[in-house]
């Protein structure tokens, strides 16, 4: 029997703990969800074998994240670090230079938090089965479990 989540959960604050990343975890790439409320916490379930984490990132409005983080250095992160600070137009141009884009997620652009369209997921997370982001541990209907996966490059906001 499926458990349908009450949509009133969207009006409730998150309950789980979301601590900031430690400075040794930067720079990193993230693939996962933005958690806005208790409804998001209840509906998203990522396969434990991927070692998903929950964390917050300091922006003008604190953002909470649930997903996987890769600290593997790559050309994109190395070049991005040398271009700091970037405004949205400069970052968009930088993405084009790297054969990438941020068209579908640019509204989440903040200093040191750089969105990348998830269509480029394979470049940074090539061995990840996307179905692992939609596990059904709580027997929740598929129409409530499916949500937008986001990808971000995180740089240390204290640098």
* Residue 100 confidence (pLDDT): 94
Report if residue 149 sits inside a domain.
Answer: yes
Structural domains in the chain (count): 1
Give the pLDDT confidence score for residue 61 in this predicted structure.
77
Instruction: Judge whether 6 lies within some domain.
Output: no
In a domain, 18, yes or no: no
Is 75 part of a structural domain of the chain? yes
Question: Which residue range is the domain that position 37 belongs to?
Answer: 27-154
**Residue 19 is assigned to a structural domain of this protein:** no
Q: Give the model's pLDDT for residue 1.
A: 76
The answer to the question of residue 52 being in a domain is yes
Residue 1 domain flag: no
Residue numbers of the chain with a pLDDT score lower than 70? 159
Instruction: Give the separation between CA 79 and CA 56, rounded to whole angstroms.
Output: 24
């Amino acid at each position: 029997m499926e458990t349908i989540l009450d949509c009133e959960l969207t009006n409730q604050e998150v309950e789980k703990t979301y601590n900031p990343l430690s400075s040794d975890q930067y720079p990193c790439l993230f693939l996962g969800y933005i958690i806005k409320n208790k409804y998001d916490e209840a509906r998203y379930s990522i396969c434990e074998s991927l070692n998903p984490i929950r964390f917050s990132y300091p922006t003008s409005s604190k953002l909470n994240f649930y997903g996987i983080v890769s600290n593997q250095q790559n050309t994109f992160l190395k070049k991005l670090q040398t271009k700091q600070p970037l405004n949205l137009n400069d970052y968009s141009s930088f993405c084009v230079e790297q054969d990438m884009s941020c068209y579908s997620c640019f509204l989440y652009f903040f200093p040191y938090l750089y969105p990348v369209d998830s269509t480029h997921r394979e470049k940074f997370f090539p061995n990840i089965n996307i179905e692992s982001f939609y596990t059904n541990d709580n027997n929740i209907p598929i129409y409530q479990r499916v949500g937008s996966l986001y990808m971000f490059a995180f740089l240390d906001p204290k640098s």
